[in-house]
Amino acid sequence: MSLARIWDRRVTGWHSHVTSAPGFAKVRDRLLAIAEPEPGTACVDLGAGTGFVALAIAPLVDDVLAVDISPAMAESLTAAAAGAGLENVRTKVADLRALRLPAASSDLVVSCYALHHLRDADKRAVVAEAARWLRPGGRIVLADMMFGRGATRRDRVILRDKVIALAAMGPGGWWRIAKNLVRYGLGVGHEHPATPQFWEHALRDAGFTDVRFEPVVAEAGIVSGTRPA
């Protein structure tokens, strides 16, 4: 099944899923604080889903282009924006790996828990494209799963806590532990989290300066950078 169809099927319960989890709200709020959106800003939200970030950032900026691979997610976001009276939100259905936008057309590029669905080479390609879309002085702020396979103390704490949480669920949780270990070990499945160090290198290699990583909660982290003036 294609990634677009997978997310189409999740649209009904997705917004309630992200809005009911306190961790997601912490990540979104910290992303907004780091991004510092302001009037006059043209923003691109990559992997926007039903608008968890796009709808929060729209009142603070001039324009939001919300991009998602799922037509159903984009339709839901459009309806939510209209219901909230947000006339500055546009949606675009596109695979992030093939997304092309005009050069120097944006001031801010954000993403929240979407890019771990891309392979590392595609993550790098998206970051490089984002550098092209941004005007000089523009910012990129990416929130996502950011952890590795246990090389750092932070990695080990994250992995331990995940195992404990799943084990507490009983046999179903143990099955998910086994399944996730196989997927993670073989590099298969739809989730491909990368380390903070990977993201820092990806941004610097794309030409961003003032690159910074900040852990938020659990496995969530935010990396940001500025396109040089």
% of the chain residues with pLDDT over 90 = 68
Least confidently predicted of 114-118, 170-174, 199-203: 170-174
What is the rounded average pLDDT of the residues 139-144?
98
In whole angstroms, give the CA distance from residue 163 to residue 183.
Answer: 15
Q: Which domains does the chain have, with CATH numbers?
A: 3-147+193-226 (3.40.50.150), 153-184 (no CATH)
Residue type at 3 in one-letter notation: L
What is the rounded average pLDDT of the residues 179-197?
71
CB crowding 88-126: b at 16 or more within 10 Å, else e: ebebeebebeebebeeeebbbbbbbbbbbbbeeebbbbb
List the structure tokens of 196: 């903070």
- Report whether 146 contacts 196 (CB < 8 A): yes
User: What is the structure's pLDDT at 107?
Assistant: 98
User: What is the structure's pLDDT at 103?
Assistant: 97
Q: What is the pLDDT of residues 66-105, one digit of tens each?
A: 999 999 999 999 999 999 999 999 999 999 999 999 999 9
What is the rounded average pLDDT of the residues 25-51?
97
User: What is the structure's pLDDT at 154?
Assistant: 82
In whole angstroms, give the CA distance from residue 155 to residue 207.
Answer: 27
- Report whether 43 contacts 108 (CB < 8 A): yes
3-state secondary structure 152-214: CHHHHHHHHHHHHHHHCCCHHHHHHHHHHHHHHHHCCCCCCCECHHHHHHHHHHCCCEEEEEE
Q: What is the pLDDT of residues 113-140, one digit of tens each?
A: 999 999 999 999 999 999 999 999 999 9
Least confidently predicted of 167-181, 184-198, 206-220: 167-181
% of the chain residues with pLDDT over 70 = 89
User: What is the structure's pLDDT at 149?
Assistant: 72
Least confidently predicted of 39-53, 124-138, 162-176, 197-211: 162-176
| Long-range contacts, 65-68 (Cβ 8 Å, 24+) | 65/90, 65/91, 65/92, 65/101, 65/106, 66/90, 66/91, 66/92, 67/91, 67/92, 67/93, 67/94, 67/96, 67/99, 68/7, 68/92, 68/93, 68/94
DSSP 3-state of 96: helix
Residue 32 has pLDDT above 80, yes or no: yes
Q: Is the pTM of this model over 0.85?
A: yes
What is the rounded average pLDDT of the residues 195-222?
96
Does residue 21 or residue 40 have the better pLDDT?
Answer: 40
Residue 203 has pLDDT above 80, yes or no: yes
What is the rounded average pLDDT of the residues 17-37?
92
